[in-house]
Structure 1
Amino acid sequence: MLDAAMFAEPLRQLVAALGTGVLAPGNPAETIRAAADAVDAARRGSTAATEAVRTHWEGSGAAAAVDATGRVQQSMGMLTDDADDFARLVESAGGKVQSASTRLLGLVDSLERRARAFGSELFTPAGLLTMLPVAAGHLGRGLEIVARTRADLRSDTDAMAALGRRIAPASVTTTSDPATAERLSVSPVSGGVPITLPDGSVAYAPNERAAKAVRAALSQRGVPYLWGGTTPAGFDCSGFTRWAYRQAGLDLPRLAQDQDTAGIRVSQAQLQPGDLAVWSGHVAMYIGNDQMIEAGDPVGVSPVRTTNLDQTFEGFFRPR
């Protein structure tokens, strides 16, 4: 049966895909803080033991023991601080999603009230001609909220990644998957074109055209999101990747879901700078070293992923 609620169904799907952002009991932030409290308690106990050593033990052995204990206590203190930072990032991300969800629900309520105001005239030709543009406008505002939230969450994701690198430096990270190890390597490849990434690492594009596209994309970091935008005044996702490849002499299709037709499919283990990650309604460019760049609000770099709201991931593609 047709009713006013049907106009708000696309917005409800956005709400469902985004989630509430409410952190349930036992969430990561709560668990991490509990563990940090235990580490801090152990650090305080270690401090008391060190004072006992200073009082009752003398000589080079005592000095070495005190020095070693001091280093352990310093590491425990840093671990506690890092855990607290991580917990705050989790709570920050949850708060951003919760705020966006509240605004989306406000749009649902607004749209349903507008539709109900038509009464029995809603599904007449005149009612539909008036109501459909209103529904499209509400949906557009909802998509903008989601895009902004995704961009806001990217800063938390980047901060978490940086925190992870500080806790477990990449220089000691190992992997048992040879394909993954090769993909994450920053070593020069035969005939590769070097690209310096924003984090200071160097990636190697397979050719000059891919390198030009990546460099063009990186030059637009900070450009705001603009629905339908195709220039440095503002980009949407496919407008951004299309513009970057145009600077390298290759014209990609306009729509995100069509840009896979301009290349060959590759696996995640085969990714090279310049490859595209394509969803049913979004596209991003791989820039190397397990990172990609995409149009958000603003254009920014994020870790490689294969999820994007409730969109279908089409795969990774290499333009040609």
Structure 2
Amino acid sequence: MSAALLIAPLKMLVSVLGTGVLPPGATTALGQAQTTLGTAADESTRTVAAVDAGWHGAGGDAASSTAKTLASADSAVGQAGVDVATTIESAAGHVRTANTALNALVDSFVSAASAVPAIATPAGLATLVPLALDHIARGVQVVQTAQTELEADTAALGRHNAPAEVTGVSRNGAQSAAVGGEGTKIVLPDGSTVYAPNERAATAVRAALSVQGTPYVWGGTSTDGFDCSGFTQWAYQQAGVDLPRLAQDQDTAGYAVSQSDLMPGDLAVWSGHVAMYAGNGQYVETGGDPVGITPLYTNNAGQSFEGFYRPHT
């Protein structure tokens, strides 16, 4: 048995992990997204001012709302691009660090093996086998550490999942059927306008938004403190709709909708968490933090995503 064969599992770990070296310019466009989309957001903001100054009535209100939505979306996506670029570079750095550590272990074993006389003899193997096992175990620890770091990076990326479309608006200025008269209008804290499928869903969203800052309390179901499902249950109770108490059961009170069809009041359900969609790519939720607005996401560390659901109202 040769020293190379003994250390082969460690070399395999090096090969599978990769180098962590990104291609030139891999994150450049993402890193510049905030500047690029910031220009678009500024243009939309100027459009809002022009519309508000010279176009009155329902059509003007709709056009102004569209421009506000686009400005908000451009700003959010631009910041998300920078965050994603930073996360990708962080993940690549974790892989590079692990790769360097694994190669150092390989070199360490090869150096130690070269000092052992008569490697193929029982005495030589008695020295090398424990040494190889120790180096391999240390290599596994390196990979496990990298895996934990990469899981955190993956969770960070998941926070920037975007809806398939901006609620109620498209780039050519056309708005969804809800804006055309169907649905119930809601004004979000950032001043943008969205449309819930009906008055009860709108009431639930308004109730949820009205208690931002309420602390997270495990098992909480009142304005003294909420947990995630206690919060969504309470919000819908204000609209006269009863939801099950547990997060993983609240999908049974509604029907599944696709991400592209999300409307305010819809619920995002995981195996142990639930959030309410507020519109414009945002949730209003609590889950360890006080009630607040967060970007839409579907990855939630350690939990399986069950889907989006619209409660029966």
Q: Which has the larger radius of gyration?
A: 2
TM-score after normalising by structure 1: 0.48
Specify which structure has the higher proportion of helix: 1
TM-score after normalising by structure 2: 0.49
